[in-house]
């Protein structure tokens, strides 16, 4: 079994995981998964495809960002010009 690891992400003083946790945006797929998890009384579902950890939904071990265009745009913007994510102008 693969163990999910969630670490706090602070970029330029912005706590992205806190923003993801507090996002009110929902989408049909995640609502359905969360409802299934609650009915089954489990923390993971669909052979670990979906898992809840520390108030976040993880899909295949990665933090799922709700369909909140403002939040998704901010995440892309914050990672765009970092030494790791920089595209180099090409």
Instruction: Tell me if 87 is assigned to some domain.
Output: no
3-state secondary structure of 48: coil
Instruction: Tell me if 20 is assigned to some domain.
Output: yes
Q: Mean pLDDT score of the chain, rounded to an integer?
A: 76
Q: Is the pLDDT of residue 67 over 50?
A: yes
Instruction: Tell me if 90 is assigned to some domain.
Output: no
The tokens describing 26, both together, are 């929902």
Instruction: Tell me if 48 is assigned to some domain.
Output: yes
CA distance 73 to 90: 20
pTM for this predicted structure: 0.63
| pLDDT of 15 | 82
Phi-psi region of 61 (alpha: psi -120 to 50; beta: other; left: phi over 0): left
Instruction: Tell me if 62 is assigned to some domain.
Output: yes
Instruction: Tell me if 3 is assigned to some domain.
Output: no
């Amino acid at each position: 079994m693969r163990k999910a690891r969630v670490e706090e992400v602070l970029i330029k003083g912005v706590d992205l995981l806190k923003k993801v946790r507090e996002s009110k945006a929902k989408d049909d797929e995640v609502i359905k998964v969360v409802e299934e998890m609650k009915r089954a009384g489990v923390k993971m579902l669909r052979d670990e495809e979906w898992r809840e950890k520390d108030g976040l939904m993880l899909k295949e071990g990665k933090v799922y960002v709700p369909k909140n265009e403002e939040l998704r745009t901010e995440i892309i913007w914050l990672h765009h010009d970092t030494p790791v994510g920089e595209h180099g102008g090409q």
